[in-house]
Structure 1
Amino acid sequence: MTGEIAVLGAAMHPWGKWGQSFVRYGVAAARSALADAGLAWDAVQSVVGAGSVRCGYPGYVAGSTFARAMGLNATRVTTVYAACASGSQAIAAARDQILAGDCEVALVIGAESAPKGFFAPNAGERPDDPDWVRFRLLGATNPAYFALYARRRMALYGDTVDDFAQVKVKNAAAGAQNPNARYPKAVDASEVAASAVVADPLRLLDICATSDGAAALVLTSLDFARRHGADKPVRIRAVSTRTPAYPRSDLDFPDIATDADGAGATAFRAQLAQAAYEQAGLGPDDVDTAEVYDLSTALELDWYEALGLAAEGEGAKLLRAGDTALGGRIPVNPSGGLASFGEAVPAQAIAQVCELTWQLRGQAGGRQVPGARTGITANQGLFGHGSSVVAVR
């Protein structure tokens, strides 16, 4: 088990479609996180920005962009890009700096001003860009491959469109309790069924939107936290950042994914979680709540199994029993998930840790998981970037 760091501050800029610069959102979240930590900007020794490819050159150098906007004070700056896993890999970079003794206080920021509709491929000919290949040559936008995952679950495990709709119903009920959510509104299964088919069997309400938003964390050494009066802060105990083992396909089919020795049949997502559990010295039975990457309703069910909360093929059974809903045995996405927020890509993995922080502090209001002491996140990005964070109190 490696060293722990403290989460002294957590904050978000509400998700939506605000039509403003991502820098404005990121700075607002950062200032709120510093206020939450009880620290001034000049206490920050490192700024780690989660990069964005949709916000021009400032997004490519997000660490410097945010540091400049906050007011340059000779901080160390780092920018990390790993698509949807950018935020958690930014957390990993800050954690490494703190544990190495390079700084005591790091500010991690992710923000985006996202385009409306499906994410489009980058302009020009980009045969080395998997999105360009998938969109331009195959015509497979993100919802198309979400639908492939859904069909696979239906064929292998007997999941139904009603199961997928219940994921949305569950997450919307939690999101209705979250003031930062873009869609703070409960829905029922009939509303999901009545929404337009986007990629059969998935309907509009089965798929997350694209959003503007931001999230920020103030991370410190445990010694610094104690010196500043935080005797029992939320602590990040593990950050797993991995890529798949070769050979594999871009779909995590267990019969072709292999472990590092080439001998096993463990899917990539499960490898992410296992690495986090091993690093934290914990297991699935220790987890009180989880924030997972619900790009679609069907994908959330895959994460139940990858995190070890249910056996392979039994994610829908866990859902049907009410175990993953607020008030259930292991609430998943008590924030409301991407179903309630949409994607603000560099911010979303940071937002997951914000939610764990509030849950473990007992500050989550109407969506509070009673007695939560341990939480885990899971996220996956382009080129196989993956991440999982374990937080404890």
Structure 2
Amino acid sequence: MSVVIAGAGMHPWGKWGRNFTEYGVRAAREALQDSGIAWADVDLVVGGETVRNGYAGYVAGSTFAQALGWNGARIATSYAACATGAQAIDTARARILAGMSEVALVVGADTTPKGFLAPNAGERWNDPDWLRFRLLGMTNPAYFALYARRRMDLYGATAEDFAQVKVKNAKHGLTNPNARFRKESSVEEVLASPMVSDPLHLLDICATSDGAAAVVLTSADYARKHGIASPVTVAAVSTVTPTFPNTVIDMPLLATDSSALTGVPERTFKESIGQAAYEEAGIDPSDVDVAEVYDLSTALELDWIEDLQLCKRGEAEALLRAGDTTLGGRIPVNPSGGLACFGEAVPAQAIAQVCELTWQLQGRAEGRQVEGARVGITANQGLFGHGSSVILSV
């Protein structure tokens, strides 16, 4: 048995200041309309949790099911920080593969505050976010900058390379109706924007946004029997953790991909995520036609290109400079415009990537279409061992 994406929908991303449920309901209805499946036929709703939106956000599956109108569907809620949406998709897919569901609706939506995401208020000594923010001053842009410095030291990356990632993604997002920022940028504009955490400027770092995305999943058999047009196969969902030879269980975790572990890992965390996805899908990185990756900062996109084995270590800058990662290039990366154009709506962004790849593989990504795309991969990095990669194929 295989599981397919029968429909995809989004609420445009921006800074709307309304309840996250409103965004999620719109995305859900668009996904249902796209699939041709009635809400009454949905038997599972999986919501992506949003911790900033009160109790309704913590029980997002129930919140969306109620808002759409109680129909007797089972509900589930997933949280994995930026990998939340992929984990929600994995939950829905598992139930379909187990024969416990026929039609699943997966929804992620968020309303975010202005500025960089902050930790929970008060003294929270068991909260790793609070510890790294309050004790170390390690806000997200600070460790994005550490990644960037690492690339500069190891591979000779430059601030101009990072800026060029923004330029590329901004151009990709120009015609995307769901993108928040639809304006071209130049390298000079990026470098002239305020320095946030050296070497990253303001335009190197994604904003926080309101937004939503949703997909409808069914078995391939269900899609055939009900005449669903052009379904896209979910070939793999990877949410693996890294493997280390030794562990230390009494150390605090203070960064999003650090571990209380010693020794050299078999693969880096992000390499493990991509490799597990390839193995499950039974494909090779050379089979990938298009990628949607986690570009909270411009430098992170370059890392992900290598983590997903789309090129060798240290070669991402060369691909970028040659135009290979832009539309029309060998392996277009973030044709949607990425988070550079959308901003960060945490429980929605991994689902939004799947929406984009669905439209790409169906040939419906008007104005940003990757010609002949048949296999696409996503990548997200969540908090403290959470991460995800999804492979779709036709």
Same fold, TM-score > 0.5, yes or no: yes
1:45 to 38, 43, 46: 43
Give 1:244 deviation, angstroms: 2.6
The question of whether the paired residues in 2 share the 8 Å contact of 1:54 and 1:113 is answered with: yes
Specify the alignment match of 2:137 in structure 1: 139
SS at match of 1:9: strand
The question of whether the paired residues in 1 share the 8 Å contact of 2:82 and 2:383 is answered with: yes
The question of whether the paired residues in 1 share the 8 Å contact of 2:162 and 2:298 is answered with: yes
2:96 to 91, 95, 98: 98
Q: Give, in whole Å, the separation in 1 of the partners of 2:150 and 2:261.
A: 16
Identity %: 67
Within-5 A mapping of 1:311-390:
311-390=312-391
SS at match of 1:79: strand
Give 1:31 deviation, angstroms: 0.4
Q: Give, in whole Å, the separation in 2 of the partners of 1:170 and 1:232.
A: 29
Give 1:245 deviation, angstroms: 2.6
User: 2:120 matched to 1:122?
Assistant: yes
Read off the aligned partner of 1:240 and give its amino acid letter: S
Give 1:232 deviation, angstroms: 4.4
The question of whether the paired residues in 1 share the 8 Å contact of 2:360 and 2:370 is answered with: yes
Read off the aligned partner of 1:86 and give its amino acid letter: T
Q: Give, in whole Å, the separation in 2 of the partners of 1:44 and 1:62.
A: 16
Give 1:4 deviation, angstroms: 2.4
Q: Give, in whole Å, the separation in 1 of the partners of 2:103 and 2:306.
A: 35
For structure 1, the residue ranges without an aligned partner over 5 or more in a row are none
Number of residues paired by the alignment? 386
Within-5 A mapping of 1:223-242:
223-230=221-228, 232-242=230-240
- After TM superposition, the structure 1 stretch with the greater mean CA deviation from structure 2, 187-196 or 343-352, is 187-196
Read off the aligned partner of 1:309 and give its amino acid letter: L
Read off the aligned partner of 1:317 and give its amino acid letter: A
Q: Give, in whole Å, the separation in 2 of the partners of 1:55 and 1:154.
A: 38
- CA deviations on 1:64-95 (whole Å, 9 max, x unpaired) are 00000000011000000111110000000000
SS at match of 2:46: strand
Task: Please report the TM-score for the alignment, with normalisation by the length of structure 2.
Answer: 0.95
Q: Give, in whole Å, the separation in 2 of the partners of 1:172 and 1:374.
A: 23
RMSD of aligned Cα (Å): 1.6
Read off the aligned partner of 1:95 and give its amino acid letter: R
Task: Please report the TM-score for the alignment, with normalisation by the length of structure 1.
Answer: 0.95
> Aligned pair in 2 of structure 1 residues 281, 257: CA closer, same or farther (>3 Å)?
farther
Give 1:230 deviation, angstroms: 3.0
Give 1:251 deviation, angstroms: 7.4
Read off the aligned partner of 2:338 and give its amino acid letter: G
Within-5 A mapping of 1:289-308:
289-308=290-309
Within-5 A mapping of 1:194-209:
194-209=192-207
Specify the alignment match of 1:24 in structure 2: 22
Read off the aligned partner of 2:215 and give its amino acid letter: L
User: 2:111 matched to 1:113?
Assistant: yes
Read off the aligned partner of 1:295 and give its amino acid letter: L
- CA deviations on 1:287-333 (whole Å, 9 max, x unpaired) are 00000000100000000100101111111111111100011010000
- CA deviations on 1:227-274 (whole Å, 9 max, x unpaired) are 111364211010001223345884769xx988xxx7754211011000
SS at match of 2:384: helix
SS at match of 2:82: helix
Specify the alignment match of 2:281 in structure 1: 280
Give 1:129 deviation, angstroms: 1.6
Q: Give, in whole Å, the separation in 2 of the partners of 1:133 and 1:257.
A: 18
SS at match of 1:174: helix
Specify the alignment match of 1:33 in structure 2: 31
The question of whether the paired residues in 1 share the 8 Å contact of 2:36 and 2:228 is answered with: no
SS at match of 1:208: coil
Give 1:391 deviation, angstroms: 0.1
2:160 to 159, 162, 172: 162
Q: Give, in whole Å, the separation in 1 of the partners of 2:240 and 2:55.
A: 27
Q: Give, in whole Å, the separation in 1 of the partners of 2:147 and 2:176.
A: 28
The question of whether the paired residues in 1 share the 8 Å contact of 2:292 and 2:333 is answered with: yes
SS at match of 1:383: coil
Give 1:127 deviation, angstroms: 1.8
> Aligned pair in 2 of structure 1 residues 213, 231: CA closer, same or farther (>3 Å)?
closer
The question of whether the paired residues in 2 share the 8 Å contact of 1:4 and 1:238 is answered with: no
The question of whether the paired residues in 1 share the 8 Å contact of 2:242 and 2:267 is answered with: no
For structure 2, the residue ranges without an aligned partner over 5 or more in a row are 248-252
The question of whether the paired residues in 2 share the 8 Å contact of 1:23 and 1:111 is answered with: yes
Give 1:185 deviation, angstroms: 1.2
Give 1:40 deviation, angstroms: 1.2
Give 1:146 deviation, angstroms: 0.4
SS at match of 2:305: helix
Read off the aligned partner of 1:135 and give its amino acid letter: F
Q: Give, in whole Å, the separation in 2 of the partners of 1:387 and 1:4.
A: 19
SS at match of 2:10: strand
